[in-house]
Structures are given as C-alpha cells and as structure tokens.
Structure 1
Amino acid sequence: MNMAKEKDIPLEILVATMNRNSLQFLYAMFKYNDIRNYTILVVNQTTEDCLLESNNSQVRVINTFEKGLSRSRNLAIQKAIGRICLIADDDVIFQKNFQQNIISSYEKVPEADLITFKTLTTQGNPYSNYPKTISKLTSFYKKVLSIEITFKRESLIKYGISFDEDFGLGSVFQDGENRLFLKRVINHKDLKAYFVPEFIVEHESNSSSDQVSSDRFISARSALNYKLNGNLAYFYSAKLIASLLRKGLIRPNQIASKWSVVQEAIKTYKLRNA
C-alpha cells in the first residue's frame, strides 16, 4: 500500500523507542499478527550515529535527537496520518484482532474522541481491575497505561491536546504524563473519553509507574500534585509517604530523605513555571 495515496487509514500505531538501528524489534510486537496488515509510525529518539531506516512501505520512521517520552508522543501525534491512533511502546505484544476490536469500538461509541482498552499480563491476567462494561473514563483514568490509549487524531489536533513535556520518562518529572494527558481530554467540554473492556495488548505485569517507593515516582507525583492542587500537594505527598511506610515499602529512617524529594520536586516545578 502506498500510504501517500491512501485516502483513509483507519488505524495507525504510534511506537516510541530509543537508539534503534533495525526494525527487527517490531516483529516481536506482532508475533500474533501479520505486520504487513498494519500502518506504523516509529519515533526513534537517538543519536546521529544510530539512525533507524525503513524499507517497509507500511512503516514510517522519524529519527529525533530530542529526549523525553512525552516529546516522542507529541511528535508522533503531529506526524500521524491515521484516523484513529494507538499509542505503543516497543516492548508490547499486540493481541489477535486488536485492530478490529479498536475500530469496532469506535463504531459502537461513535461520539468517542478517545477510548482506552485493557492490557493482558504475560502471565495471562488482566493488568488492572478494569470496569466490566463500556463506561466513561472519568473515574478510571488515573489507572490507565499509555499502551491502552487510542484516540481520533483530528480531535486532539483540533483542540490542541498534547502530553505535558515536563512529565514522563526522560523528562524533568519522570511519571504522571498519562494522567495529565487524559485529564486534559476528560475536562475538555467538547471531547468525550470512554473505556471499552477489550484486551488489545500484552505487557509484563509491572511498569515503570509501579515503582511507587522510588525517588523518581515520588518526585513526579509531588510535582503532579502541585500542578493540579497547589499547596495541597504537601498534604497529598505526606499521605503518600505515610502509605508507603504503612505498607512496608519504605523504612522509618527513609522518611526524611523522601520528604526532601517532595520539597525539591515542588521547588523545581515552581521555578520552571514561575
């Protein structure tokens, strides 16, 4: 298929990766599917001596020398050509019929601008405790993984919805980007977001966002809370540290250092947004 001449691409997969010089990694992602049947955009954050090229007409590649996962996502959104886009990382495995399940979900919920789906762990279990039925995303969005997110590209472009580039792996605050992104969609009066209980992707049972006791996570969560709640961020961060202590995820002698992480994160956020 010549994508330049294709009038309507129903689904495009937006893959974020780093330092690749071969497309071989894609084949593992499509182990249950024929990669020739899909339209893919790969954003490869890399260096000038490690460039990725594609000789597959179905796979477009953008090599970029910027860093940060949210920057990669935003670049992909801007350069995408699919009517519906699916966000993907380079370590997922797509389920059989995932494309048809996504497209048919937008047919079932035609007013949806964004739909999230379910992830299956490599152990064969649901990644989260998902809702059982099609529902609005309002109460569930905080638990959504990026690899579960699909959207109508024109809707996001029209209303200027993007990822906050201060948040996400490789950014100043290395988590929280999905929550902010989805909150922007949910809060927009002209956009509608839904959840559909269909498995579309397989992933390891843990993700970077599960490392809740790490300084990286606490820093990002503190900055996120300040962005959303102002000075109440100190209260929410204190609750987080107390919860980690209660669950045995940190020790009493770590409380002071974790609180320093909170203070530094909020200070950094203030300075960047002064």
Structure 2
Amino acid sequence: MKFSLIMATLGRSSEVERLFRSLAEQTHRDFELIVVDQNNDDRVTQVIERFKDEFQIVYCRSEKGLSRARNVGLQAVSGDIVAFPDDDCWYPPQVLEFVADKFGNEAELAGVTGCSVDGGNKPSQGRWSTNPLIVNRYNIWTCATSYTIFLRTESVRAVGGFDEQLGVGSGSRWGAGEEVNFLLGVLNAGYKVRYEPALRVCHPEPITTYDEKAYARGRLYNRGFGRVLSLNRYPMHFVLYVAARPAAGCVMSILQGDLGRARYYWIAATNRVLGWVDQG
C-alpha cells in the first residue's frame, strides 16, 4: 500500500526538515513525498538534497495559495492513499503503518482521520472527539484537519480538487476550511470515513498569545469555517450552535477578566456567522 503525501510549503525551513526527519523514521516505507514549493529561494531544495536518498521525493512548484498547491500536488499522485501533511507538522514513527493497517483490515473504508497533538501529546488545533466515530457532516468539525486526513486515491479522484477560493493564501476572505470542504465532498459522494483518536499527528498549537496576529488569524479562519457551512448548506440551527460556543467562551473570559481571550472568542463567533451569510 503506497502513500502519496502532498506537502505544500512557503516560508519555512527548520519545520520542513523536522517533517522530513519524521518521514525517514516511518516504520511503513512505501510512500512518496510530493513537495509543492512556493518559495522564491532554495531553502526547500536544500532540505530535499539532504534527504533524497531516504525516501522518494517528487518536486513541484505552484503559485501561492494552499489549495492551489494541493491541486498541483494531486496531479503527481501515484499512490493508493493520499494525505496532506502541513509543512510544520510531523509524524510519529508508526503513523503510516497504523493507517495502512486500518485500510488493509477494512476494505470498505475510503478514509481514516485522526487528531492533532503538540509535542507533549496534548491536543492542539482545537477540540477533538475522544471516541472512534464514523465521520458525518456534523461531527466532522472535531474529527479532521488537513494533516490528519488519509484518503484512498479513488475517493480523492471522485471529488476532483480543492476549492481555490478557500484556505491560506487564497486571496479571499475565507482563510481556512478547504480540507473540511474537500472531505465533505468525499462524504457526499457516498464514501465511508472513520475517525480514530489513536491516530495522532503532531502540530504545534498555533495560538499561544492573544495579539493582533492571533486576531487576524481568527478572522480569516473562522470566516472560512462559516463559508464552508454556507457552501454545504448547513441548517441555521447548526450555524447558531457553532457560533454560540465561542460566544459563550467570550462571556466566560470576560467574567474571568481575560479580555484578550474574550476578544478572540468574539471574533470567532461573529466571523463564523459572517462567513455563512457572505455570498462573495
């Protein structure tokens, strides 16, 4: 069972090397790394040169934009399973073996997803379900993020590609959600995807300080969240639910005197609604 791992990268060096190092340590060895380089320098090709004898590397270039890069990478896929590691994530040594075993034991599965943890094995990048689940359109938000999604190539081909108006670097108001939108396409096509909390991919927690950078990220990411809700015709009661959660967090943070956190939660709540009503 061969994996095609599509990694888009821009502006990172040491993080890319960390991912490469983790791939060199995988117990399952049948994989290719498809590097989609968006840099204007040779920082990534230098890393590739150091690891070119460790595993198969396919090098591509694309215009800026995460979804654009992944669509370029999809054209180079030759494996049975496709995944989308971030350039600042890393795989524990048995990740690919774990996923290969799941697919090997359950032929009806088109996808396996896992959760995100930081270097100390604590949850990162949001809330995560603690029990195994069959992924559906309502639990998907606590069952998947881009670098924890593994899909059979057949199901990837059925969806076609990522919406290039969504995601980091898209140039739109919708700075996230492209991977959930893509996975919803897999579900809508009738494929079965299972979430396994024992499948853990490492990624640093992106927000450690509530500053202007965090607020800008919150606007883009949550507006993208709302846009995906709109594109996939989620009912109003669910939109209100996902907006109410950070709104409640805002109130609690005010009561605790944490105004920075309160502001972030308010940004999250309002931009989820704005993304849902924004028709572009």
| Partner Cα separation in structure 2 for residue 112 and residue 103 of structure 1 | 11
The 8 Å contact of residues 223 and 266 in structure 1, kept in 2 or not, is answered as: yes
Identity %: 20
| Alignment pair present for 1:102 and 2:99 | yes
| Alignment pair present for 1:184 and 2:185 | yes
Q: Which residue of 2 aligns with 1:146?
A: 146
Q: Which residue of 1 aligns with 2:18?
A: 28
User: Deviation of residue 30 (structure 1)?
Assistant: 4.4
Q: Which residue of 2 aligns with 1:39?
A: 32
The 8 Å contact of residues 112 and 150 in structure 2, kept in 1 or not, is answered as: yes
Q: Which residue of 1 aligns with 2:113?
A: 116
SS of the residue 1:93 aligns to: coil
SS of the residue 1:14 aligns to: strand
Q: Among 206, 223, 231, which residue is 1:219 paired with?
A: 223
Change (3 A) 1:111 1:145: same
Change (3 A) 1:44 1:125: same
Q: Among 14, 19, 25, which residue is 2:6 paired with?
A: 14
Q: Which has the larger radius of gyration?
A: 1
Change (3 A) 1:154 1:266: closer
User: Deviation of residue 106 (structure 1)?
Assistant: 0.3
The 8 Å contact of residues 122 and 205 in structure 1, kept in 2 or not, is answered as: no
Deviation per residue, 1:219-243 (Å, 9 max, x gap)? 3233333333489498578646743
Name whichever structure is richer in helix by fraction.
Answer: 2
| Partner Cα separation in structure 2 for residue 109 and residue 77 of structure 1 | 24
Q: Which residue of 1 aligns with 2:135?
A: 137
| Partner Cα separation in structure 2 for residue 243 and residue 142 of structure 1 | 18
Q: Which moved more, 1:96-105 or 1:9-18?
A: 9-18
Q: Scaled by the length of structure 2, what TM-score is found?
A: 0.73
Change (3 A) 1:240 1:222: farther
Q: Which residue of 1 aligns with 2:258?
A: none
The 8 Å contact of residues 17 and 42 in structure 1, kept in 2 or not, is answered as: yes
Change (3 A) 1:67 1:207: farther
Q: Which moved more, 1:146-155 or 1:113-122?
A: 113-122
User: Deviation of residue 255 (structure 1)?
Assistant: 7.1
Superposed CA RMSD: 3.6
Q: How does 1:156-195 map to 2 (within 5 A)?
A: 156-157=156-157, 159-171=158-170, 172=172, 173-189=174-190, 191-195=191-195
Q: Scaled by the length of structure 1, what TM-score is found?
A: 0.74
SS of the residue 1:195 aligns to: strand
Q: Which residue of 1 aligns with 2:279?
A: 270
The 8 Å contact of residues 29 and 93 in structure 1, kept in 2 or not, is answered as: yes
The 8 Å contact of residues 18 and 46 in structure 1, kept in 2 or not, is answered as: yes
Q: How many residues align?
A: 250
| Partner Cα separation in structure 1 for residue 75 and residue 65 of structure 2 | 16
SS of the residue 1:88 aligns to: coil
User: Deviation of residue 155 (structure 1)?
Assistant: 2.5
| Partner Cα separation in structure 1 for residue 116 and residue 266 of structure 2 | 34
SS of the residue 1:90 aligns to: coil
**Aligned letter for 2:221?**
F
